[in-house]
Structure 1
Amino acid sequence: MQEAPFYRKWVNAEDLTPFNVAEKETDLLILADRVLEKEAKELALKYRKDIEGYIRRYPEFRTSLIPIEDNDAAPAIVKDMLRAAISSDVGPMAGVAGAVSEYVGRGLLKFSTEVIVENGGDIFLKINKPRVLGVFAGKSKFTKRIGIEITPQDTPIGVCTSSGTVGHSLSFGLTDATIIVSKNTALADCAATRVGNAVKTAADVEKGIDCAKSIKGVMGAVIIIGDKLAGWGEVKLVSI
């Protein structure tokens, strides 16, 4: 059994009930009105089955680092990933964590008025009160010092993070954190990869912001590399 990411120890939402669901590579932290482990596991299995079945028919879906052709006959979660990849100019698996977060989260809204699903730093939220998502950016001075405030009116929404210095996900950039906000969590995930890839040094952060602006559906972005931070769009940064 894989160890839970260390940053999950920092979660503080006493009015919600946290629980974990793990299935193969999928490892979810979920906060809801009550424990919905059975329902969440069923949803995670369903959407993993959709993705795995598509990979068996189209192996390039798993391995391609560039967009592949859209397919109207694909399962809904796969179509979301395909289209997010096309919009962001990355491979479709760049959006898998965000897509699973959103599809599991939306399914759980049948049972809970509030749902937060975190999957490897990629988060889907539907909330009833303002929440602050703490930013982890490796050794940067901004780690655990700033957060992104999300209001109920913003949600449902996706907030996804890519890093070239933290974690195991593939990145060709060197940001400590590239955070993207979008109404589509798969798109936020793919866009975080694309924007993160564009930033190799602190001098590239404006280029990264321009990249984020160019992706249709991206609402806002935060890029952190070392002691430099740049932000754009509908992102409210707060001290924590």
Structure 2
Amino acid sequence: MERTYRSLHRQDDLVHFQVVVKETDLDIGVRRERFSPELVKRAEKLVRDCRAPLEEYIRRDPAFLKAHDPYDPLPGAPPLARKMAAAARRAGVGPMAAVAGAIAEAVGRALARFSRDVIVENGGDIFLRSACIRRIGVYAGDSPFSHRLALEIRPEDTPLGICTSSGTVGHSLSFGMADAVVILSPDTALADAVATAAGNLVKDPDHVQKAAGFAALIPGVTGALVICRDKMAAWGRVKLVPA
């Protein structure tokens, strides 16, 4: 899939670059004066350092990879696996539903030591830290809302996870038919897992309010936006502006 949606989160004042390690494909933005080839290498190492313990753990516990329901990792599981499992348990899904958000946050928080503004996008799941107001566009496939709306994120609400699940766009596993479910949380792994869980609830456009209400009940979630064709529901700290 061509990642044309990446234009929706890129910021003109930041330098964006890509880091690809196996299935992990990140788009990273940092302040222009902080960008360097050394920072790119550092980001690549951060991704490898995230993936290696997780890959080794999955070889030891393959059920972790395949679980669609909450799953308790084995003793000695790496911190990233435990974080994924904890987030997924709160959402009622399997731990791999949180992997993209967990990696985006781990890389983003590490890079935030070098750049005051950082955005890390991993397959539609975003970690953002910003010193100014940012606008993140919403891609919702063939919905009439697609490319017409953006989320306005204030700096005091960051660091923030902004994670999207869709049953009609992309390759991520979803049992629903939502065009876009966007979840906001300071815990990016949780935002990722809840986006999947809420998306699973949307079987037709009349289910958007139900999915937003589900997300609203999960502690740690600060906002939700659910789009299915011509219906939309929003809850929490969600400020929508024209794209």
Q: TM-score range by the shorter chain?
A: over 0.9
Matches within 5 A, 1:18-33: 18-33=16-31
Structure 1 gaps of 5+ residues are none
Deviation by residue 1:21-47 (Cα, 9 ceiling, x = unmatched)? 000000000000214210110000000
Separation (CA, whole Å) in 1 of partners of 2:233 and 2:108: 29
Is the Cα–Cα contact under 8 Å of residues 141 and 227 in structure 1 kept in the other structure? yes
Question: Offset of 1:144 from its aligned partner?
Answer: 1.1
2:124 and 2:224 map into 1 onto residues whose CA distance is 15
Query: When the two structures are superposed, what TM-score results if normalisation uses the length of structure 1?
Result: 0.95
- Which residue is equivalent to 2:102? 99
Q: Which of 36, 39, 43 does residue 40 from structure 1 map onto? A: 43
**2: CA distance between counterparts of 1:84 and 1:105?**
18
> Which residue of structure 2 lines up, in the alignment, with residue 162 of structure 1?
165
List runs of 5+ in structure 2 lacking aligned partners.
Answer: none
- Deviation of 1:234 after TM superposition, in Å, equals 1.0
SS of the residue corresponding to residue 129 of structure 1 reads coil
Structure 2 residue aligned with 1:64: 67
The 5-angstrom pairing of residues 211-226 of structure 1 reads 211-226=214-229
Q: Does 1:110 align with 2:113?
A: yes
> Hey, what's the Cα distance between the residues in 1 that align with 2:27 and 2:43?
10
How far does the alpha carbon of each residue in 1:47-96 deviate from its partner, in whole angstroms, 9 at most, with x for none? 00121111112111100000111556332211110100110000000000
The answer to whether the 8 Å contact 1:72/1:79 transfers is no
Equivalent residue pairs, number: 238
Distance 2:21 2:104 in 1: 13
**CA distance in 2 between partners of 1:27 and 1:4 (Å):** 12
Pairwise CA distance, 1:10:
4.5
Runs of 4 or more, structure 1, over 4 Å off, are: none
d(CA) in 1 for partners of 2:229 and 2:4?
21
User: Identity of aligned pairs, percent?
Assistant: 50
| Structure 2 counterpart of 1:125 | 128
Aligned mates of 1:10, 1:205 — CA distance in 2: 23
Q: Is the 8 A contact 1:147 1:239 kept in 2?
A: yes
Aligned equivalents of 1:74, 1:219: Cα separation in 2: 29
After superposition, give the CA deviation of every residue in 1:177-199 in whole Å (9 maximum; x if it has no partner): 00000010000000000000011
CA RMSD of aligned residues (A): 1.3
Cα contact 2:118–2:128 (8 A) shared by 1: yes
Residue 208 of structure 1 deviates from its aligned partner by 0.8
